[in-house]
Amino acid sequence: MAKYQIIGATGCPTGIAHTYMAQEALEQAAKNKEVTIKIETHGQVGIENQLTPQEIKDADVVIIAADKDVQKDRFAGKRVINVSVGRGIKEADQLIEDALAGKASVLKGNKKEEETMEKETTEKESKQKNSIGRDIYNNLMNGVSHMLPFVVAGGILMAISFAVWGVYSADPDSSQYNSTAAMIKGIGDMSMGLMVPVLSAYIAEGIAQRPGLAVGFVGGLIADDGGTGFLGGILSGFLAGYFILALKKLLEKMPKSLDGLKAIFLYPVIGVSVVGVIMWLLSGPMESINRAMMDFLVNFEGSNPLILGIIIGCMSAFDMGGPLNKAAYVTGTFLLAQGNTTFMAGVSAACIAPPLITGFAALFFGKYFDKNDRNAGFVNFILGSTHITEGAIPFAAKDPLRNIPIFMLGSSIAAVLTYMFNVQVPAPHGGFLVLPVVTGKAAWVFSILLGSVIAGLLFGLKQKRMAMKKNTNESEAA
């Protein structure tokens, strides 16, 4: 069994935590089975532990646990298990067992043909792999993951400018004006201004590979210039990607010797022309829709912070890095670009809370947790403080029906109080590291800690009750 060779690739939209948690889980599961494995990671720093062509050739099976593009075409002809990064974390042992049992499908080009050993597994994997919704989500998250560094860098630079020299330090007509502050804010504005084009470009790249990149970028620039915001960027990305796929199909009968001409001339010229014209015509209607949505969120935020806080708290803590969490976070980043720094304050608070909840539970009720969970809870104080919600995932996975509602409660309390105190956070990431640039620092920290402590106590009491029930059952059995 030790000679059975498994390779894999992991990747999550942000490339911060899920990617490496899935890698660690799969490596540990393979080690328990005495199986050789090598996992390539597609994180925010790029591709690490990269698989070589020889390693791919020698592999018996490939496990892909990713919610973004990990260059799956390399594995054509290999037996592949393709799941979300969340399953890679939660079901690592089962995935290794499935790989050893031959419950995988053969990847042929861009299409997967099921060749599983058991009918039940075939149906389950087929539904997941052929899901249009999952493909759309993966491509969207490919855009988001490439966009985030621009957002974080731009947001932090703008926040530094405000914090050090004043909110109006970049305004030439203000008494606070400072040329250095204006320069730093200008750099931050440029970085933030690339959000929509980069989002659009890498959605298209996820769909159509490199030929879609230029078309998506230009479509995103038109969307941004037309005031359509991130909705226009998402539309232009998908439009560019699928148009290039259709164009490839249309031109596939051209002589092989003209492939270079297609890549450097036909795809970009035709693609930019068609997608550019469509986005130009759609800019007016899309701008109206985008403006209405932004106004709705802003008005809703100002009129009823209680309901908004509950919505944001539940979205952020329900799947911790998944679609709902990312929907709240991406909305916050784009509103941040519109000058709304209050909305992101609640999103950040809701994302920081879940790991802290596990930390306080381990602190208050440590004897009811095993050693590994107790240590993980203490580590989550660091992860939570730096806005890495994913640290709470292992706890949620062990008892989701009980633990996730507790996380949602704590995040909702933190978000509601943040909105009620009118806290402003001008940076989209960083957790407590960006505290110097937060308006309403004490109120923000208090909101997060109160929500985390209350939910942490509930989490600890639940753990205590479960431990006592377990001891009682063991005593009765004895």
* Cβ–Cβ under 8 Å, residues 293 and 334: no
> CA 26, CA 15: separation in Å to the nearest integer?
17
Helix, strand, coil share (%) of the chain residues, nearest 5: 70, 10, 20
Could you say which of 6, 12, 315, 344 is catalytic? 12
Shared domain for 392 and 313, answered yes or no, is: yes
Shared domain for 318 and 461, answered yes or no, is: yes
Does residue 309 lie in a domain region? yes
Shared domain for 124 and 143, answered yes or no, is: no
The single-letter DSSP state of residue 263 is I
Shared domain for 417 and 271, answered yes or no, is: no
Does residue 275 lie in a domain region? yes
> CA 437, CA 449: separation in Å to the nearest integer?
19
Q: Residue 103 has which token pair?
A: 């419950």
Does residue 300 lie in a domain region? no
Q: What's phi and psi for 10, nearest 5 deg?
A: -125, 150
pTM metric for this prediction:
0.62
3-class SS at 236?
helix
> CA 218, CA 201: separation in Å to the nearest integer?
8
Shared domain for 274 and 334, answered yes or no, is: no
Shared domain for 105 and 254, answered yes or no, is: no
Shared domain for 138 and 123, answered yes or no, is: no
Q: What's phi and psi for 115, nearest 5 deg?
A: -140, 55
Residue pointed to by tokens 């989209």:
428
State CA 3 to chain mean position distance. Answer: 35
Shared domain for 150 and 276, answered yes or no, is: yes
CATH of the domain at 38: 3.40.50.2300
The reply to whether 12 belongs to the active site is: yes
Per-position pLDDT tens, the chain of length 478? 446 789 999 987 666 677 888 899 999 999 998 888 999 998 867 788 899 989 998 898 999 998 877 888 888 888 999 888 888 888 899 999 988 888 888 876 644 444 433 334 344 444 444 467 767 877 887 887 788 788 777 777 877 777 778 767 788 888 888 999 889 888 988 987 888 899 899 999 989 888 899 999 999 999 888 877 677 888 999 999 999 999 999 988 888 777 778 888 899 999 999 999 999 998 888 777 766 766 665 666 666 778 888 888 888 888 765 556 666 777 777 777 777 788 888 988 998 999 899 999 999 988 888 777 788 888 888 878 877 776 787 787 777 888 889 999 999 999 999 999 989 888 776 778 778 878 888 999 999 999 999 999 999 998 888 888 877 777 777 6
- Tally the domains of the chain: 3
* Cβ–Cβ under 8 Å, residues 415 and 368: no
State CA 427 to chain mean position distance. Answer: 17
Shared domain for 330 and 353, answered yes or no, is: yes
Shared domain for 331 and 472, answered yes or no, is: yes
The single-letter DSSP state of residue 439 is B
Shared domain for 377 and 407, answered yes or no, is: yes
Query: Which residue range is the domain that position 444 belongs to?
Result: 305-477
Q: What is the dihedral of CA 366, 368, 371, 373, to 10 degrees?
A: -90
